[in-house]
A and B are shown apart, each in its own frame.
Chain A
Amino acid sequence: MIIREIRDNNKLTLAIKGRIDTATAPQLETAVKTKTDGVEQLEIDLKETDYISSAGLRVLLAAQKSMKKQGSMVVTNVNEVIHEIFEVTGFLDILTIQ
């Protein structure tokens, strides 16, 4: 899984390419923890993400909670498969999807 960072002042975009599963979720978790200092708007771009497992959902949830304290978080470019996962797990109502 490859994470591309695009920093623009206080807005950070993390573009994720690949799968977010048990093996790769820690990488995303670390990225969110270490790169979001002073960030007010976090965008998670899932355009090139094939799949997300419960481990990935956990990381998104934790990211959402921590970004709530310092700003906001959106998830963008969600494909059909991931959209369904969000729907089934109820994450659709919790995350801000654009």
Chain B
Amino acid sequence: MDSRKVIKFLRRTLISFCLFFFIAFPFKHLDFLIPGVTEIRPENVIPPVMGILFGVPGALGAALGNIAGDLIDGTTVYTFCFGFLANFLYAYLAHKMWYTWFEREGTVNYPQIYSFYTCVKFITIIFVDSVFVAFMIMLLSEAIGMAKAHDVALILFYNNFDFAVILGLPILATVSNFWNDYEVPPKREISEKWQAYERIFTLIPAVVVTLGVWYYVYSRLQDQMYPQLAAVIMYIIMILLAIYSFRPRTAEIEKEKKRVDFSLKAKSNILFQVVGILMVVFVVAVTWYLNTKNADITRLEFWQDIFSTAGLSFNFVFGIILASLFIVEKYLANPIEKMTDIVREYGQQDHLDHQGNKTMAEACRSIRSKDEIGELADGIAEMIEDVESYVNNLQAVTQEKQRISTELNLARRIQESFLPRVFPPFPEYTQYFDLYASMDAAKEVGGDFYDFFLIDEDHLGLVIADVSGKGIGASLFMMISKALIKNQAMNAESPAAVLEAVNRQICANNEADMFVTVWLGILELSTGRLIAANAGHEYPALMRRDGSFELFKDKHGFVIGGMDGVRFKNYELTLEPGDRLFVYTDGVAEATDAVNEQFGTERTLTALNQHKQESCRDLISGVRDAIEEFVNGAPQFDDITMLTITFRPAELLRSSEENKE
């Protein structure tokens, strides 16, 4: 045998024994209720409670406690045995009844008193159990010639029932909140054979009650004792009850859903019980007081009165209490529990399960109270529906966003690859010029561009431009402008004429009122003659060989696409060998750091001059590094575009070597 099980068994027996005995002990020395029969026995709560919770060891402990008590009283062996059996049955029957009575859908629940239903169950079981015990003891008292059955029956009943119920209800209600190691009788499957036995089992309580009632009435009518008859009937009843205690459990134990630790039902239960008990105590105290004032009353009558008052007031008060509990449960606790379950389940599942959501919303709406509970339920149902549609929406929106983002990335890649990026672009011309350009796009797709192309074998076209605004619109406009400018420039017209033609073309179709600033230059390679026109674009920076970069304040026309019919003016300058030209967009000068200070043209020139002897590629990366250092991690808002050309670079190289010496 498992030693832990044995220890558990012994421990429980001991607990039951101690509780029984130490509660019983003080009352032994008070007045006897019915001399020789019974005294006030609050310990009567112990057998059914311990029995229900612990099963056999609980019953055993209580029965042993009774023997200990009887030893103190010094009663006969006969009474010992009887007392032992009666208490054992009293306790054990309660245990069995709990697990076999009140089956619902083939299940019973643990002995947790937290609701109207469980209260009613407990009270009923105790009632019947107390009736059994009352009968047994009343018959015994006649069998040993102590007292007449009808004299003692009621008080015996109340002595058990009152204490068991008034003390037992709150005890079980409280215990179930922090302890749940219940002893459960093993389950037996009902075979064909057992069906027949089942019928016998259900008859037994009826038979016992009938016998008892019959004897009570008979005793009352005859008003005398029949010791032998009483003894016989007593034995019959005890045997029947002993048989009954073997009734097997056939029901499943209800798997408790994870309940809240101290649920609403349990709380209201305890509240009502406390109120009820206080009321009963009050009534009893009043009765006690009134009876002590009454000098004529006998001790027996006194206690009969107290006990029956307690019993009756209990019935009355607890009847009201249970009805209130029922109402509270039906209209408050149950709907709230239902909603709690729905909300908990909702939290655990996928918000997009339409069928699931619909079921839950309907379940909520089925709670049709015309009060805050009903409103709460409707609110939850609405929320479930709303969340589903929001999540659906969100999914659709997110998908759309993803799609757009992919498209934007594609657009950016197309745009970037649209700019010429091979350097040196014209390998046969490297003696004429060194050329480099770069465009670093900002976060959002932008509209800066540069361009360079050979118009004929002696003329190089250079373009730098900046479209107003950002986004897809700007990038579309950029593509058009670039194509138009190149196309027009290839006709070998002067820059001003090119810009005027392009402006006309763009203004013809410019619904969106976009514009682009452009600097266009055409360099004659054999002579270094540069003809240029500026449509609202930043001043170029010019460096003469052996000099430094300075802003060249050229004449500005209006932006392209701003207004139809705008005229532009060419200007001319001659580049000597070793001279350099640097054009850029406003992203360079307007690059901002964390405190919103701009890089500015001064810093641009400084950066240029720091690298003025270097190749075009290095010059541009030098400026880029300077900008990066300046902004120091602040986000880039505008495209940074730069183009630079050195005329007859050999000359520059030579001069830089000369300067080193």
Contacts and interface: CB of A to CB of B under 8 A. Distances in A.
Given A54-B469, A55-B470, A57-B468, A90 B514 contact: no
Contacts of B87: none
B533 to A, nearest CB: 11
Q: Which secondary structure dominates chain A's binding surface?
A: helix
A9 to B, nearest CB: 29
Contacts of B557: 90
Contacts of B515: 54, 57-58, 61
A90 B563 CA distance: 11
Contact of A55 (B468, B539, B562): B468
Given A58-B513, A62-B513, A91 B468 contact: no
Contacts of A88: 536-539, 556
Contact of B468 (A58, A87, A93): A58
Q: Which secondary structure dominates chain B's binding surface?
A: loop
Contacts of A55: 468-470
A90 B556 contact: yes
A90 B513 contact: no
Interface in B516-572: 517, 535-539, 556-559, 562-563
Contacts of A91: 536, 558-559
B378 interface: no
Contacts of B467: 54
Contacts of A87: 556
B506 to A, nearest CB: 13
A89 B469 contact: no
Contact of A22 (B469, B538, B558, B586): B469
B510 to A, nearest CB: 11
Contacts of B538: 88
A83 B535 CA distance: 17
B216 to A, nearest CB: 96
A55 B467 CA distance: 9
Nearest to A25: B469
A61 B559 CA distance: 11
Contacts of A57: 468, 515, 559
Interface in B22-56: none
Interface in B452-486: 466-470
30 contacts: A21-B637, A25-B469, A54-B466, A54-B467, A54-B515, A54-B517, A54-B586, A55-B470, A58-B513, A58-B514, A61-B513, A61-B515, A62-B513, A65-B513, A87-B556, A88-B536, A88-B538, A89-B517, A89-B556, A90-B536, A90-B556, A90-B558, A90-B559, A90-B562, A91-B536, A91-B558, A91-B559, A93-B558, A94-B562, A94-B563
9 cross-chain pairs, A with B, having the tightest CB-CB distances, nearest first:
A54-B468, A90-B558, A89-B536, A90-B536, A58-B468, A62-B513, A55-B469, A90-B556, A22-B470
Interface of A: 21-22, 25, 53-55, 57-58, 61-62, 65, 87-91, 93-94
Given A58-B469, A90-B562, 15 more contacts: A25-B469, A54-B466, A54-B515, A55-B468, A57-B559, A58-B514, A58-B515, A61-B515, A62-B513, A88-B538, A90-B557, A91-B536, A91-B558, A94-B562, A94-B563
